[in-house]
Each structure stands twice: as C-alpha cells, then as structure tokens.
A and B are shown apart, each in its own frame.
Chain A
Amino acid sequence: MSTLKQINDYYKINNELDWNRIIDDFTPYINTIIKNMSNDKLTYEDKEEILLDVFFILWKNKENILTSLNSYIAGITRNLVREKCKKKKITYDISNYEDVLTDSSLDMSTDERVEILQIENSFKNLKEIDFKIVNMFYYSSKSIKDIAKELNISKFNVANRLSRIRKKIKKQLNIGGKNEK
C-alpha cells in the first residue's frame, strides 16, 4: 500500500508529492518552530540549513510517512533544531508541536546531510545556468534535448556542463574509479 495515501491530495501532483506547494505552505510553519524552540538565537544561515534539511529528510522518507504531514514535518524540525542547538550550545524549548514522532522512526540521514552540505558549500560560485541545468536534469528529469531547447543553448553545451559538474561532485564524494574493465 502506498504510504502517500496518508497525505492529503492537496499536496500531491501526478501521485508524487508537490514540493513547490509543500515548501510554500510549510516554510512559515517550520520557521515558527525553529524560532520558538531556539528562542530565536540561531543565525539566518542556521535556520536556512534546518529548513533545507527538513525538506530533504522528508524527501528521503517520503515512502515511510505514516502520519499527517504536519506531524511528520514538526517531528523532523524538532529533531534538527535540537541537533543544531546542542552543537551551538544554545538552550532550546522541548515543548511538543502537534503529534511529534519519536526519533527512532525517522531516517535523519545525518552523514549524507553533512556530505551534501560540504558539496553545496564548494558550489557557492556555481553559475546560475549550471545550477538550472543540474536541477532540470536530476530533479525534474528533463532530457538533454529538452533542457537545451528551454534554455536556448546547444545540446553539447548542456551535456558538457552536466558532465563537468557531475565529475566535480563525484570527486568530492570520492566515488568511482578512473579505470574501467
């Protein structure tokens, strides 16, 4: 049985989660939890990182959501704020927000988040066009041909940029070898 059945159809599009809508609707909610739990002592960058982590963890766990989206997101947010506040030695409020989940039910993907954050930081100066191409290819699953048409550049340009960025990311992930059998 698809666990997405637990989620209101309002947050679905073509049987997948509608991330644009989820991000629009839940960003203020998450920000409120962060502000209240951390006594508003976290920096803007910390809050943004938590926000991104919430949606990332939601994405990783989307097949395992057994409760309402509100509760699930609140649970993730609470755990992340606690994690961040502990790291920064900031006191935090442990009040519950709706029906929060226990820690053990969530895959917080901690190692992967750390890895991805390091890679994100190294791509701070990535050109906007490269950003767009990577997102269109890997997130929106568009073809090289469609991306080239939409951005009005050659297919070769698209493939070349994708290849370069992919190699840079792979190098940082230390994945794959240079040699082939």
Chain B
Amino acid sequence: MKNNENIKNKFKFRIAISKIKEEDTNIMNKKFNNMVKKGCGIAACLIVVSSGVVFAKDIENYFRSLFNNSSKSIDVAVENGYIQKEEKDYTYDKNIGIKVDNLVLDDLNLDISFNFEIKEENVKSIRLNNFIITNDNEKIVYQSEFKTAETLEELPLYNSVNWINEPVKLTDTTFTDSILFGLRPEKEDFQELHFDIKSVDIVYTDDKREVIDGTWKFNVTINDEMRQSENVIYTLAESNEYIESCTATMSNTGTIIELTSKVKIPTDRFIQDSIFLSSNSATYEGGYIDFNEERMKIHFENVGNFIENADILNLHLGFFDTTVVLIKEST
C-alpha cells in the first residue's frame, strides 16, 4: 500500500504538470483570440477557457492582494519573490495596533503595506492620517503634513505618492492598506525605515469618520536584497536629430527615462499620449512625465526587470515624430 501511495502522489504530480501546461496554452489562446477580435473585426469564435486559467489567476490574485496600491511592475516583481515580508507584532495605542506587513524597495519605488488591528467591530476602514517616515540617516522619506523645504537637503526622498485605492478589510477586526512612493533618483542608501504615526483615520459602518490621535512608533530594517537590487541601464545607441542624450534606468519596480533635447520640447500641448517604449515583443505606454523645454523625465511603472530584458529598446516620441534607439549597457 505504501507503494500505491507513492504511485498516487506521482500520478497527481503528472496531472499538475499537465494542468500548468494547459493553463498557459489557454491564456495564450485567449489573448490571441482577443487580438483577432480587435484587429480584424471578424466575429471570433471564442475559445472555451478551461479551469486551467483559474489556477494561474488564483496565484496572481494572491500576490496582488498584498499591496492594494501598487503598479504592474511591482506586482510582477512580487510574484517573482521580490518582496520583504515582516513578521513583527503590532504596536498598540488607543486599542489600535499597526505594523508593516510587506515592503518592496529599490532605487525608484517604495511600496509599503500596513496592517491594522482594531477591537471594535463596527469599523468600515482605517488608514494612516498624520505620520512621518524617516530613515536611519535622519532623512525624511515621506511626511503627511506638507512643509516647504528650504534646501535640497530638506527635500523628502519621495517625489510621488499612489494612495488611491481604499484599505481592504481582512477580517472583522483587521485591515490592510498600502502606499506606493516614487523615489527621487538622488536618494541615498539607507538601512532602516522609522515610522512615527500620530493619528489614524477611521470610517465606521454608519459612514461616520473619526481621527484618533495616538503614538505608534516602530522601525523596519531593510534586507540586503532590497538594498542591493541592481538597475539595468540603457543609453543612446545612435545619434538622433532631436535628442542630445537619453538614458533609461530599469529597476525591479519600474523604469525612468531621462533625456535632453536639441530642439525645444513643446510645453503648450498634451504630449503624454504620444510617448511609448517598445522592445521586440511588447509595447509600454508612458506614465507621468516631468519636463521643460530642454529636458524630460518619463516614468514607466508598467515595465521593470522582471518584465523586460531586451538588449534594445525603442522610445517613440510622437511630438517629435521620432524614435530613439537605446541599447543595454554591458555589465
């Protein structure tokens, strides 16, 4: 009978391999079918997608649930194991516990998910209100209360925040909420994050809101994998009549392209929609851009090292009707 148990387990493993193979075939068929439908205008015969696709989605959905405010690159990075999981206890004050659950960090982005525990059961959602995040160099990473920086040194390390999606209720008394910070390229290396939370914002089931003041202070040590993650650099492969210089920095969680222009960049038009990045196999729409007449920084949150590894990238700038060819720098 022991031998039969061995056969049964091996048999199940074969079925598993067959289902994994089936799930990807069906995902590809579905994508292909959608492309045909869009491209040719012919009524496509829909391919029945088997339950194999559900398995793949189950795993993806689990990783996506870790950060409710995230990006495509971060989701894929997390799925590939690029995540720091914290196993600490809650820090309590006023019967509310707060802790960091997961974080993802590299040179371009910091995504932090917080877990909250509150004893009351009539709470609809809870999130941070007044708080400051600093590092072990005493630099401010983020502060919720806006303060004008008088020197470059005083500027916080973040340059953007994605905190659009609402917190997620995990159980009757626990919630999770994540915040995605875009980081300034000038950020220096740090080993710890220090959290100083002064108030939280609670919404009850009757939609009443309350801000609760308290003190929640805790630290998180950044692991080596996060601190030492590597970027891939792309530079101008050939001269371009419009562009003086162009560099793409691709990290695990996103890509930023910085260029200087030989001719004036039009600032009087909406040019974001005319910017694309492409490789041999995929095309990526640009995210937000910072620019003036001479320089431009383009953020791509949908492409990072776990998504793209091409040697050549093409940056399409519709407003100049030109394509800039970028080549990967050898390591």
Contact = CB atoms under 8 A, between A and B. Distances in A.
Interface of A: 19-20, 23-24, 27, 48, 51-52, 55-56, 59-60, 112, 115-116, 119-120, 123, 131, 134-135, 137-141, 143-144, 155-156, 159-160, 162-164, 166-167, 169-170, 173, 175-181
27 contacts: A27-B4, A52-B7, A52-B11, A55-B11, A59-B15, A60-B18, A116-B14, A116-B18, A135-B12, A137-B58, A138-B16, A138-B20, A139-B16, A139-B19, A144-B59, A159-B62, A160-B81, A163-B63, A163-B79, A163-B81, A170-B20, A173-B21, A175-B24, A178-B306, A179-B308, A180-B307, A181-B282
Q: By DSSP majority rule, is chain A's interface helix, strand, loop, or mixed?
A: helix
Interface string B276-288: 0001011100000
Interface string B236-277: 000000000000000000000000000000000000000000
Contacts of A131: 9, 13
A52 B10 contact: yes
Interface of B: 1, 4, 7-21, 24-25, 27-28, 51, 55-56, 58-59, 62-63, 66, 72, 76, 79-81, 85, 279, 281-283, 306-310
Contacts of B62: 144, 155, 159
B10 A120 contact: yes
Given A24-B4, A134-B13, A178-B308, 19 more contacts: A20-B8, A23-B7, A27-B4, A52-B11, A56-B11, A116-B17, A135-B13, A137-B55, A138-B55, A139-B13, A144-B58, A144-B59, A160-B81, A163-B79, A166-B56, A169-B17, A173-B21, A179-B307, A180-B76
A23 B21 CA distance: 24
Contacts of A178: 306-309
Contacts of A167: 80
B81 A176 contact: no
Given A120-B10, A163-B80, A138 B281 contact: no
The 3 closest A-B pairs by CB, nearest first: A138-B16, A179-B282, A139-B12
Given A23-B7, A116-B14, A134-B16, A143 B282 contact: no
